[in-house]
Amino acid sequence: MTTGNAQLVTPQITQRLRIVFRKGAEIKYISHLDLMRAWERALRRADMPLAHSRGFNPHPKLTFASALPVGFTGRAEMLDVILEQRLGLRDFAARLKAQLPRGLELGSVTEVPAALPPLPSRVAAAEYEVAVQSQDTPDQIEARLRGLLAAESIPRRRERPDKVRIYDLRPLVQELHVVERLGDMTVIGVRLQSNAQGTGRPDEVMAALGMADAVRVIERVRLILLPD
Amino acid sequence: MISEAALDRILPKVTKPARYTGQEWNRVRKDWSKAKLKIALAYPDVYEIGMSNLGLAILYELLNQQDDILAERVYAPWPDMENALRKAGLPLFTLESRRPLGAFDWIGFSLQYELNYSNVLNMLDLAEVPLLVSERVDMPTAPLVIGGGSCTYNAEPLTDFFDLFVIGEGEEVVLELAQLYLAVKASAAPEENWKEGFLLRAAYIEGVYVASLYTVHYQSDGTVSAIEPMKAGVPARIRKRILRKLPPAPIRPVVPFVQAVHDRAMVEIMRGCKRGCRFCQAGMIYRPVRERPMDEVLEAVDQLLANTGYKEIALVSLSSTDHACIEPLVRELSERYAAERISISLPSLRTDAFSVELAQIIQRTRRTGLTFAPEAGSERLRRVINKGVTAEDLLRTAKAAYANGWLRIKLYFMLGLPTETMEDVLAIANLVKAVRDVGRRERGRRIQVNVSANTFVPKPHTPFQWLPLQDAASIRERQMALRKELRDRAIKLNWSDADETWLEAALSRGDRRLGRVIQRAWQQGARFDAWSEWLQPELWRQAFAEVGLHPEFYTSRQRSLDEVLPWSHIDTGVSDSFLWDEYQRALHGEPSVDCAEGCMDCGVRAAFGLVNCPPAGSGRGTVN
């Protein structure tokens, strides 16, 4: 199943690399699945020695920290990729950069121990910045934020195709504050729990603040990982 | 240019918004101010379908290689996006520069399916381009609307809306047209309406059909009596264009983010088909056969994979197993790219053991399904359509497939072929059952046979062009008979939607008067007629009635040899006498040899002055 050349490269030395990248406004409407395919193709174009899963339909081992909802930009998204041959980090980054479509930007590449648990299981929380455009004065916005933080619980509806679930948004909100104000634009920072027990959505927070229509941009600025 | 902010207000609410935001790998962004000729390449169906079309990919790459020319893409917005655009008062725009279509010099539509016609009108309307040629005539800034693709072999129903059509292979014509356009534009006086002059001169380019330069006369019974050029010197018949040698394969296709229907790299390994199946329009209109030499294919695959990052490469043509070098080619590719896990696909397999062998080379690991197309159930009817496959061939092939690991076989048949009787329909059922039994013997109960029994639509420029569409009631009866015979867990049966078939037949066989029907149907809300969830047949029937035409006149009428067919001025090189003789041979169940076995003198060789047609042997891809 392999050509002569590939058989020489045994035993397989694997290398696990962690890529931090930006998903820009240019491609903010592509879905998580689209993004996964785009990464796979960029890595193939860069001719990276990708390790593949076994089985009838082998696919490269790419693991994303967390899916970013359609319409959001991401400043520091994360993905782990496993190679079947070791590469220098600089070489890897340079080759990859040349193959990334507009809107995907390479932040950093670091090697992480192959034995670390899967990336998604390490995500604890996410920080977002939401730009809102509203007639509210700064004090009024501050008051909305204080109101939300002071609430005991914030029941929200989550509508799924098959059912509607009521959940409490409040415990998922870890921080909420005004980052800056530029003219009639206000940037609100929000830190939300993001793990298997519950993932808060910033657009839900804005809706709970009564500012859903004022939202202009939502960017995930940071993923917070558990210490290894 | 449409602003990002304007789009941000509507895109979050539509399905798959990335259909409208571009930025894909290999998309070409040229300097708007430096381009002398700006072309919007339009596909009148949704992004995922349009992005799978090889013809547009060829033109996109070719046009953008020219210094003076810029080409951008646009696809039909899904109805939710259409509503959002209309509500926001935004015009339809291209993906590359987000400019409205009206800002381009040309809008070039790829016309591959009649059920996309309402989308053509809708896209023009969304772009705020007047629909009718007659409305645009006095508007010097209105774009030229150009059509190409297989539907242009009978473009009559669209002549109200298109300034010109390119008939046949577009790679050379489009550059000749561009050159002429720029020359005429440059030499025009400031106030001069130079477009008319351009169109008149364009009509002399072989393969260009300027419909407004022809008048159609009708008899009192509604049939066409004559189609005549209105100006001296304009050719009475429009001959399609061919390239003697296949042009270079595009090697930098746009790689979509949103998954396309055919989400893979494509290399065209052959144009035309030597087989001569009498029902097949593609087999008639894309003559002669030209193969891409093996080394060229290998080189193109190499570059394509490096430039796209695709995991799959499709070797496309009408009948890929007929390529002279197909076996060594497939062997070489599968060895070369095994380590990278690249899979190879052959979209069209012949019904023989050789095809199973090829499939074995290609599908080393995952053997899911194989597809074959016997087209008719009985030996007799297969002789009528000149599909030289025997039941024995099929069963042997099926046995080889099941024995070698495949569990699912898909079989394509047609219902309503000329001379078909219930006996032929039952022969389909018997053949399917025989395939199932072969599978059971080889692999037991897990096997599956998927049967597709689509209704045959007699198409222009084929030996069956004179024949009516089989009436819906008897098609229904035949479908029911099949269903009754093929009730089995191992057999899955499906057939084409009767309304879709009816509309396809009416539009593909129609004349110029259908333009008003299309316009009326569109006004009443026809969109995405190729999508069963959107097709509203009643609305089309009503449009026919309002315009005062009977769809049955187009779908259900046997036409005689001396009737002037609405497409008779379009010259594919295949002669009418050949088509008629083939029709007669069909009625007598007489087979015709394929191009490799001998020349049936279809007319193409003489029309294009070809000496060696088809090209003999391996790697000789050029006809001359």
Check CB contact under 8 Å for B306 and A34.
no
Over pLDDT 70: what percentage of chain B?
98
The dihedral of CA B56, B62, B64, B66: what is its sign?
A: negative
> What's the pLDDT at A5?
41
Put simply, the answer to whether A2 touches B339 (Cβ < 8 Å) is yes
Lowest mean pLDDT among B255-269, B356-370, B458-472: B356-370
pLDDT reported for residue A9: 40
**pLDDT confidence bin for B618, thresholds 50/70/90:** very low
| Cβ-nearest to A101 among B16, B25, B307 | B25
CB B55 within 8 A of CB B171: no
Cβ atoms of residues A25 and A112 within 8 Å: no
pLDDT, one tens digit per residue, over A194-221 is: 999 999 999 999 999 999 999 999 999 9
Q: Which residues contact A212 (CB under 8 A, 6 or more apart)?
A: A203, A206
Average pLDDT, chain B: 95
B409 beta partners: B370, B449
ipTM exceeding 0.90? yes
Q: Please compute the mean of the pLDDT values over residues B175-187 and round it to a whole number.
A: 96
Chain A residues closer than 8 Å to B313 by CB? none
Kindly report the nearest CA distance between residue A38 and chain B, in angstroms. Answer: 6
More confident residue, B111 or B352: B111
Tokens 């150009």 locate to B146
pLDDT at B413: 97
- Label residue A2 by pLDDT band (50, 70, 90): very low
Q: How far is B308 from chain A (nearest CA, A)?
A: 6
Q: Do B21 and A47 touch (CB under 8 A)?
A: no
Residues 6+ apart with CB under 8 A from B387: B275, B277, B373, B374, B375, B376
Domains A4-116 and A123-225 agree in fold: yes
How much is the pLDDT for A10?
40
pLDDT tens digits, B249-281: 999 999 999 999 999 999 999 999 999 999 999
pLDDT level of residue B622 (50, 70, 90 thresholds): low
CB contact under 8 A, B17 and A29: yes
- What is the per-residue pLDDT for B100? 97
A212–B contact, CB cutoff 8 A: no
pLDDT digits over B12-32, tens only? 999 999 999 999 999 999 999
| Record: contact B339-A6, CB cut-off 8 A | yes
How far, in Å, CA of B197 to CA of B180, rounded? 11
Least confident segment among B301-310, B341-350, B431-440:
B341-350
Candidates B236, B124, B120, B243; CA nearest to B175 is B243
Chain A with chain B: Cβ pairs closer than 8 A:
80
Whether B483 shows a pLDDT value over 60: the answer reads yes
- The residue type found at B488 is D
Task: Name the residue of chain A whose CA is nearest to B27's CA.
Answer: A101
Cα separation of B220 and B210, whole Å? 26
Higher pLDDT, B126 or B405: B126
Q: How far is A226 from chain B (nearest CA, A)?
A: 32
Q: How far is B131 from chain A (nearest CA, A)?
A: 32
Average the pLDDT over B316-333 and give the result.
94
CB-based contact B39:A98 (threshold 8 Å) = no
CB contact A149 to B (< 8 Å): no
- Work out the mean pLDDT of chain A and round it to a whole number: 92
Find the residue in A nearest to B342 (Cα): A58
B15 contact A CB<8A:
no
pLDDT higher at B528 or B371: B528
**pLDDT number for residue B424:** 97
Domains and CATH numbers, chain B: 4-239 (3.40.50.280)
* Of B47, B53, B56, B50, the residue nearest B19 (C-alpha): B47
> What is the nearest CA distance from A179 to chain B, expressed in angstroms?
22
Name the percent of chain A lying above pLDDT 90. 82
Q: Is A25 on the interface with B (CB under 8 A)?
A: yes
pLDDT in tens, A100-151: 999 999 999 999 999 899 999 999 999 999 999 998 999 999 999 999 999 9
Spatial distance between the Cα atoms of A121 and A196, rounded to a whole number of angstroms? 8
Residues 79-138 of A with CB under 8 A from B: 99, 101-103
Eight-state DSSP code of residue B219? -
Identify the three-state secondary structure at position A218.
Answer: strand
Q: Do B17 and A70 touch (CB under 8 A)?
A: yes
Chain A nearest-CA distance from B310, in A, is: 6
Question: Can you name the CATH fold of A123-225?
Answer: Alpha-Beta Plaits (3.30.70)
Chain B residues whose beta carbon lies within 8 Å of the beta carbon of residue A218? none
Residue of B nearest to A217 (CA): B8
pLDDT at A3 over 50: no
pLDDT in tens, A140-179: 999 999 999 999 999 999 888 888 889 999 999 999 999 9
Q: Which residues of A touch B257 (CB under 8 A)?
A: 27, 30, 34-35, 37-38, 101
Confirm or reject contact between B362 and chain A (CB < 8 A): no
Chain B, nearest residue to A213 by Cα? B9
Q: How far is CA A215 from CA A186, A210, B181, B291, in A?
A: 10, 10, 47, 56
The pLDDT confidence band at residue B359, using thresholds 50, 70 and 90, is confident
B84-114: b (≥16 Cβ within 10 Å) or e: bbeeeebbbbbbbbbbbbbbbbbbbbbbbbb
Task: Of A112-116, B40-44, B64-68, B503-507, give the lowest mean pLDDT range.
Answer: A112-116
CB B484: neighbour CB atoms within 10 A? 10
Q: What residue segments make up the domains of chain A, in order of their start? A: 4-116, 123-225
**pLDDT value of position B191:** 80
The CATH number that domain A4-116 falls under is: 3.30.70.580
Report pLDDT for B620. Answer: 45
From residue A149, how far is each of A26, A104, A140, B580 by CA, in Å?
33, 35, 14, 83
Confidence at residue B545, expressed as pLDDT on a 0 to 100 scale = 98
Range list of H helices, chain A: 4-8, 32-45, 89-97, 138-150, 202-208
Is the pLDDT assigned to residue B559 strictly greater than 50? Answer: yes
Pair of tokens at residue B358: 């090829």
* 3-state class percentages of chain B: helix first, strand second, coil last, to nearest 5: 40, 15, 45
The residue that leads in pLDDT, B345 or B465, is: B465
CA distance A84 to chain B (A): 12
